[in-house]
Structure 1
Amino acid sequence: MSRSGSGETAARVNALREKFAKAYGHRPEGIWRAPGRVNLIGEHTDYNLGYVLPFAIDKNALVAVRRKSQLEPRSQVLDFASTYGSGDELPITSVTVDELVPRAVPGWAAYPAAVLWALNQLDDVQIGGLELMVDSDVPVGSGLSSSHALEVATAVALDDLYGLGLSKVQMAQLTQRAENEFVGAPTGIMDQSASLMSHAQHALFLDCRSMETQAVPLPLAQHDAVVLVINTRVEHSHVDGGYAARRASCEQAAAALGVESLREVHSVAELEAIADPVARRRAKHIVTENQRVLDAVAALHASDLGAVGKLLCQSHESMRDDYEISSEELDAAVEAAMAGGAIGARMTGGGFGGSAIALVKRERIEPVSQAVREAFDHAGYVEPAIFTVIADEGAGRA
């Protein structure tokens, strides 16, 4: 069941409309939503042109927008506000269209600004001044793709308002360019694709080379199972150096093998030709993770959650040992979840913090959650935020 049209979302939409009017003195022309995502399996394979299997979740970014007319004062000024602010006055970040250059916009406003910049790089597109306000319940820094949800919501809104007629693939590619070139984060194309293309109760099998997709049923209800998110509250950022270093290692490995991308490598044995041991380990994760995605798709079609659970655990071990992007908190979450009776568990997202996920029978939600809390308390970590997520619909009008 989709939560995108739920009463909770409707209440947020109404509240955002009122806050927009109070901040700007005008009603927005519309409000659009884009969900965050959980990546079930297939980590760091997207920028290696491999396979991924994410799904959109029932936490989303809402974006309200009003275009300015040429007759208005400040007609070429872009105003960005967020409900994150406290008090009656919401802070507004303002920048002119001419000032939209990479790295020039501070803070969270860089993400919608990046989309505007990327759109204005297209032929025959000229986005002028506007007022924008965002409200998001995707936890920031949690590995659930809060930044891409904001970018996708902005892209969908402007595509709709300006009648651009962009396809979902084009919008995914556009937001990737915005993230890479304007924000400065060398991310792949998975997160925005999941936010745009997902369907309720399904995972999105995406071939990141061809951009072909397949909706894969998630047979959770028939097994009375859920996906539990364990937010370690250790924030991560794709702008930090660790993510870029992993991508550089993959490019180094591909060059050593004489291939365009690691997608073209199909066995671990082929990796012996890579002299650098670090690059070889990074490549091993990508090659084995691509196969795990294919195996997970087959297991889901067979409704074999036990097989999916084993693949999740193998994926985590690979990210911990070969790709080295896990953390003490993520490892503790996975180990405790499994000890508490989870079917499978792994870290999800870019790594170096963020969240883990656990595939759990509904009757084991509380025992698994309690095991994780106790492990974190014993280790002296910050108490994690633990919640279930629903596979929801992709982006659109709210």
Structure 2
Amino acid sequence: MEETKVLLGEIETGQYDERLKAIYVDETMVPYQKERFQKGICKFEELYGAGEVEVYSAPGRSEVGGNHTDHQHGEVLAASINLDAIAVVRKMQNNVIELLSEGYEKICVDLSDLEKKEEEEGTSIGIIRGMIYGLKKNGHKIGGFQAYVTSDVLNGAGMSSSAAFETLVGTIISGLYNGMEISPVEIAQVAQYAENVFFGKPCGLMDQMACSVGGLIHIDFADLKNPMVEKVEVDFDVYHHSLCITDTKGSHADLTDDYALIPQEMKKVASFFGKEFLREVDEKEFYKNIAKLQKECGDRAVLRSLHFFEEDKRVEQEVSALKNGDFKGFLQTVKASGNSSFNYLQNVYTNKDVQNQGVSIGLAVSESILKEHGVSRVHGGGFAGTIQAFVEDSFVETYREVLDSVFGEGACHVLKVRPFGGIKVM
């Protein structure tokens, strides 16, 4: 821990410039991040007073391949991005967490009572309580702290702001009370538990794993307790392409039922074969029984399951292409993934509100202008939120201008793959 006044001075004089450049992978972002960290520390002082603090960070994520495969024990390719949530934190002796996130009311969690509370479903308090409960259950030390949190991760827009927040809480507990020895994989697993049980959203493990582990990672969820995590080393700058994420200004709020139906329908198909997850089903048997599955499970369940089997293969194709330097092949597979999500997974818009199709508009506009300059696909959970595109560097500004003209200035974000997951920054 370091005194807030000392820390502010060290940031101002550039002692953390290299650290910030390494985290945010863009030298031009350092001045902005310095100001952001300083404002965060000053806000903490305003809330809790000057004194010793630590600063933690957890990134958002971008799914590259494996759309809605993780909850069926499939494979994904995902990356942490250089948008993050940061927390200025002070360890406290009392058994209470006091936390204020920018733009929200301050919340308090009494750690002497960690049982799930139904009224906290869908709330940040529920996430915090679930994280602390899960870490304690796993045998880790827990304790109170005060925190001020500010985030650049777009809320409700498919960059996993909730997983970033969960990772942030887990990393804080790891740093303050466990010497940063809780593994990123375990933090991700506890985060999924907190979101499933305490928050009430039936998500898979991909979001939490990408935020917690960091970098571009290939994850195989065949064994959920011990998922295979492989870092894929690639520098998109070498291929003169940028990762662009565009916020189509649709919110994920009130879409929990749409998300929940995807794993439910896939599991219904799996249960036809006496299995719990599609990963356990023999693909040849699936195709042999499509007519029976249509009658038993419905056409959409069949189409979504077909997406799963083909998407799992595409993840391996993407990883192989990147390892072999076949960037064109990688882009073709990204495009195929997006087409499958639109046609078969059907998670680009909600049937409850067919007149609001921001993601569809974003994809249509992208396809019409990108042509040979890049590819686009639905990003993350879908139904609303963001689209992803890999765009030639020489065409990025043209692409950004067009997408911003549709969805508003600043809608299109040009991002970098961040090499770190949840970390203590200073």
Change (3 A) 1:32 1:238: farther
The correspondence of residues 171-250 of structure 1 with structure 2, limited to 5 A, is 171-199=187-215, 203-210=216-223, 211-237=227-253, 240-250=256-266
In the alignment, which of 315, 333, 339 is matched to residue 317 of structure 1? 339
* 3-state secondary structure, aligned to 1:337: helix
- Deviation per residue, 1:186-217 (Å, 9 max, x gap): 11111111112223xxx211111241121213
- The 2-side partners of 1:371 and 1:14 are apart by 34
The correspondence of residues 361-380 of structure 1 with structure 2, limited to 5 A, is 361-373=392-404, 376=406
* Equivalent position of 2:157 in the other structure: 142
After TM superposition, give the deviation of residue 395 of structure 1 in Å: 1.7
- The 2-side partners of 1:305 and 1:137 are apart by 29
Q: How many residues align?
A: 379
After TM superposition, give the deviation of residue 26 of structure 1 in Å: 4.8
The correspondence of residues 371-390 of structure 1 with structure 2, limited to 5 A, is 371-373=402-404, 376=406, 385-390=411-416
* Equivalent position of 1:122 in the other structure: 138
Runs of 4 or more, structure 1, over 6 Å off, are: 381-384
> What's the TM-score once normalised by structure 1's chain length?
0.88
- The 2-side partners of 1:324 and 1:281 are apart by 9
- The 2-side partners of 1:31 and 1:14 are apart by 11
After TM superposition, give the deviation of residue 315 of structure 1 in Å: 1.6
After TM superposition, give the deviation of residue 391 of structure 1 in Å: 0.4
- The 2-side partners of 1:271 and 1:31 are apart by 54
- The 2-side partners of 1:239 and 1:26 are apart by 42
Say whether residues 1:168 and 2:188 are aligned partners. no
In the alignment, which of 92, 96, 101 is matched to residue 68 of structure 1? 92
CA contact (8 A) 1:186 1:239 kept: no
CA contact (8 A) 2:141 2:177 kept: no
Change (3 A) 1:121 1:338: same
- Deviation per residue, 1:277-316 (Å, 9 max, x gap): 2221111111111111111111112222222222222222
- The 1-side partners of 2:96 and 2:23 are apart by 35
* Equivalent position of 2:148 in the other structure: 133
Change (3 A) 1:217 1:128: closer
Say whether residues 1:283 and 2:305 are aligned partners. yes
- Deviation per residue, 1:159-195 (Å, 9 max, x gap): 1211173222211111111111111111111111111
Q: Which amino acid aligns with 1:269?
A: Y
After TM superposition, give the deviation of residue 333 of structure 1 in Å: 1.2
Change (3 A) 1:51 1:270: farther
Q: Which amino acid aligns with 2:304?
A: R
CA contact (8 A) 1:219 1:303 kept: no
Gaps in structure 1 of 5+ consecutive residues: 70-74, 86-90
* 3-state secondary structure, aligned to 1:32: strand
CA contact (8 A) 1:32 1:157 kept: yes
* Equivalent position of 1:269 in the other structure: 287
Say whether residues 1:395 and 2:395 are aligned partners. no
Say whether residues 1:353 and 2:373 are aligned partners. no
Change (3 A) 1:345 1:174: same
Q: Which amino acid aligns with 2:423?
A: G
- The 2-side partners of 1:115 and 1:11 are apart by 30
- Deviation per residue, 1:70-112 (Å, 9 max, x gap): xxxxx33321201225xxxxx3222322454244447444333
| Deviates further, 19-28 or 147-156 | 19-28
More helix by share: 2
- The 2-side partners of 1:107 and 1:43 are apart by 25
- The 2-side partners of 1:300 and 1:183 are apart by 36
Q: Which amino acid aligns with 2:321?
A: A
Change (3 A) 1:24 1:239: farther
Q: Which amino acid aligns with 1:337?
A: S
After TM superposition, give the deviation of residue 115 of structure 1 in Å: 1.4
Say whether residues 1:96 and 2:125 are aligned partners. no
* Equivalent position of 2:9 in the other structure: none
* Equivalent position of 2:65 in the other structure: 41
Gaps in structure 2 of 5+ consecutive residues: 1-20, 350-356
After TM superposition, give the deviation of residue 219 of structure 1 in Å: 4.1
In the alignment, which of 167, 170, 174 is matched to residue 159 of structure 1? 174
- The 2-side partners of 1:250 and 1:214 are apart by 26
In the alignment, which of 254, 259, 270 is matched to residue 270 of structure 2? 254
Change (3 A) 1:338 1:222: same
